[in-house]
Structure 1
Amino acid sequence: MTCVRATYVLMILWMATAAHSAAQTIWTAPYVPSQVAVEWMQPLYDDATGRSGQAVFVSAGYLINENIEVVAEVPVSVNAAVAGGAATSTVGNPYLGLRLAGVDWPFLVEVGGRLGLASFGGAAGLDPLASVGRTKAFVPEEYSGHLALNGRLQLGEKLTARLRAGLVYAEHPTAPSGATTEQAVRSHYSVQFWREDEWVTIGLAGSARTVLTTQPGPNTLFYATGTVIFNTPYVRPGLFLSSPINSTVRNTAPYVLGLSLSTSLFR
């Protein structure tokens, strides 16, 4: 845990004294600089699981120059509960990151991490469903750092493909006492297709998260997602629906419904 915290502090100091950059989810309008967004996610839990709750993600980016953007995100759980527990609303693990893009690069580099502010309680049940398309946001007291590459391919006048892959290293206590900790290495990857018209943007994505450090071998969760974003003059409202492909996760919540609202304030 000490190593991850030290790395996170060094990253923040580097961000404060050097150039900065950004990050973005797969639910909001693609390739929009200095975007401010609010996303609401509702896992449609099976009643038999005893789980409940929603997640809200508030994020903002600031474009320093044409190559560098800073991004921050605050996740919040709303009325989250696991079987037999009381419903609570609490802040999850905030994210701070950079996106680096060279003028002649065919890809973007993301570097960032989460501060372990989430408390033990019902919010932990929101992962992995509510964190589809991003690093886990509600693991109690988990500090994490990640590095990812994003590539963009122009497939037609209005159609693009976005490829994303990255690694996450995380540490979190296994109990509120903090006596023991658990480390995890996770990989994230997705393939997204976007069609952008004047008034509407449509996205389809397949994404996955693999825990590489589980025994006896890696454990992978797959998701399929559809997104519709309306390109109004000042704000971009959106609607998305995600479904886990793994049967064990589908038994918990076969679908995740979401709404988003985004705009660009700092252009």
Structure 2
Amino acid sequence: MNTSTIRTFDVAGTRTFVWEYGAPEGRPVFLVHGFRGDHHGLEGLAQQLAERNPGFRFLVPDLPGFGATGPMPATQHDLAGYGEWLVALVEQAAPDGHTMLGHSFGSLVVSAALHAGLTPEQVILINPIAAPALEGPQAVLTQLAIGYYRAGSLLPERAAKGLLGNRVIVRVMSEVMAKTRDPELRAWIHAQHHAYFSAFSDSATLLEAFRASVSHTVREFASEFHVPTLLIVGDRDDITPLAAQLDLQRRIPGATLRILPGIGHLVHYEAVAEAAAWITDALGDLA
């Protein structure tokens, strides 16, 4: 198993924690996790990529307000704020070129960073957010979720964390998102969500980040993609339907789309080997 090294950077007024896998002097690839997660969600993918690509190093930061990274004290936790944070992190951690990968909400953060001036050599998006959460069949559920996070932000912090980290609610979310029928893998996914899905700093930051996650799509930033782009999606994704992913591919010039049958929004848990193989091919093309 590939082990990690923890590095820290002072970015946007907060100490940002970054887990590195692979060759210490290798070509850098950043992996940006999704909403309410932390680096653990992409750890398995980073480890497999490091094993398959000995000439690269894979950097997995905790987003501000999640995991070990604290919130940004003077910056709104909206999409622009996260994008500017990512640009500043890259300037410190890998100023001489990099590949950028984002999963789910991380795909939005990467897109916002491109808009803010990020210049990667290559972009990889896993389960990108390509459909508006406030429109279509998911709109009612999104409004309910906004109310849930708003209620949490109005409570005293201890009570808020009890509500927002409620194990029953987390389990229901996990049951809905997991598509695998493998009982061991399914149990592991639930354990991962219970262990790390509530590792947020405070309820107010969580509400800001959630609003950012449901108020934008990657397709808003399609014109910012000027480098080779790989999209990896599941055909059973409850958050972004396949039709929207096909539309996103058409909007991003020259984008390559890889589709995983029977997989939903948890490609990083349910199809790690397949995703790592496609990403390895893409990194080989770049090299």
Higher strand share: 1
Larger helix proportion, structure 1 or 2? 2
Q: Per chain length, whose mean CA-contact separation is higher, i.e. which structure has more relative contact order (CA < 8 Å, sep 6+)?
A: 2
**TM (normalized to structure 1)?**
0.32
* Structure-2-length-normalised TM-score: 0.30
